[in-house]
Structure 1
């Protein structure tokens, strides 16, 4: 783990962020000794940093004396996602201009898929969702594109907590079938949803290849308008939009 962050940075701030990132990578909880082992920092330093983060609400102590990410991080993350969702509008608009269909930007919030950006189709019959709306990830193309970026063990844990309710008779409800579907998505580079959340609705999604955030871009429309030809054109177009979004995301943290 980095000690103090990038050249010119403040060492104590870098160490605090390293600890928060380590706890996040460990699933949201970690003991003090584990923080010390991962970071290479001595226990007195860990104690000082953790006490400060806990006092400010960025960490909370559990009954077993482990520490978990605190609630103060939630509004910060939500605000950051909304802000990026707003900045993503020009790229999402390219999808709408090219295909005339609704474009979305989504991420995972705990075990749920949440939409953080959208540009709606100008057509009278169009697909749309409320920004901030949370839905199970297993039945949406955007969700499957996100799950495909995670190890199978983490996917199974998410599906176990969130459940896999049948939204339609086309919804995948078997974890093993979902793992097979995710393997296909990883191989092909895109995810699809054909009536799995709502009959008559088709969605195509790709992951945003960012090193700093887990997000996906999707295009949704009535199934009758997503022909084979449209799908063939849309996939590389969405991948280009996703790559541009990733560049924007990663350059902001460089």
Structure 2
């Protein structure tokens, strides 16, 4: 065999085979990643010059594997698995840098203060704070532990923890506020609140911690084998939370969903995809 023939038959020079349907599915996913916000079916189809019915079949498969999701208005967006893959390659310092940049843009866009908190065994602690330039200044001290009962940050983290993890912390807060508190009744009401937070995916408060002050808290999720299990296999686990704090006029309850979507849009821009 000549050297030229050997070269032609070398594995390094062969075109490796692949799975065409997988490549097409990943092309559909790439469109959602590049666009980085919800899209209509026809928009995705136009982007890759494919019939909408065919694109829909691939989207169904991506949704089943949680790489995509369909929101209430019918548009398609990235699923939790894509976000989890994004965060898994980041160390904590890099993640905090990205979150701080996101917090700064949110502060500028909404004229509200923004805090980043991390979950510790004694509860959530503020690790970064970006203060608003507006006349009404709400200072959040780095190192402060946020209460589980009255802060949006605390409520969000509580909704993501096992009952055994938060029960003692909650009892201590309730008894500190009222030594005669009916702890069983308090817990019943609090469980209803946590269920509502879990269904929405974010937590809010209006005047619970400070009169006239509102807050919206969103999770920064990662995949963890050691996280509290809600089902089989790995679960979504939020070690960090980003919380926007402003006046009730800046963060009206009636506009919660719209503001959450605006915050998430900015977060997606700054967290690596």
TM normalised by structure 1 equals 0.56
Kept in 2, the 8 Å contact 1:105–1:116? The answer is yes
CA apart distance, 1:93: 1.2
1:216 corresponds in structure 2 to 241
Pairs aligned (count): 165
1:123 corresponds in structure 2 to 134
TM normalised by structure 2 equals 0.52
What CA distance in whole angstroms lies between the structure 1 residues aligned with 2:92 and 2:149?
21
CA apart distance, 1:140: 0.5
Aligned with 2:109 (options 98, 101, 112):
98
Alignment CA distance shift 1:177-1:229 (3 Å): closer
1:112 corresponds in structure 2 to 123
Q: How large is the RMSD of aligned CA atoms in angstroms? A: 3.0
Kept in 2, the 8 Å contact 1:217–1:238? The answer is no
Alignment CA distance shift 1:159-1:87 (3 Å): same
Q: Give 1 or 2 for the bigger CA radius of gyration.
A: 2
2:191 corresponds in structure 1 to 179
Aligned with 2:148 (options 137, 141, 155):
137
Q: Which has the higher contact order (CA 8 A, sep 6+)?
A: 2
Kept in 2, the 8 Å contact 1:217–1:242? The answer is no
Does residue 239 of the first structure (1) align with residue 264 of the second (2)? yes
Kept in 2, the 8 Å contact 1:85–1:118? The answer is no
What CA distance in whole angstroms lies between the structure 1 residues aligned with 2:160 and 2:150?
16
2:162 corresponds in structure 1 to 151
Gaps of 5+ in 1: 1-79
What CA distance in whole angstroms lies between the structure 1 residues aligned with 2:266 and 2:223?
16
Kept in 1, the 8 Å contact 2:99–2:267? The answer is no
Alignment CA distance shift 1:113-1:134 (3 Å): same
What CA distance in whole angstroms lies between the structure 1 residues aligned with 2:93 and 2:176?
28
What CA distance in whole angstroms lies between the structure 2 residues aligned with 1:101 and 1:177?
30
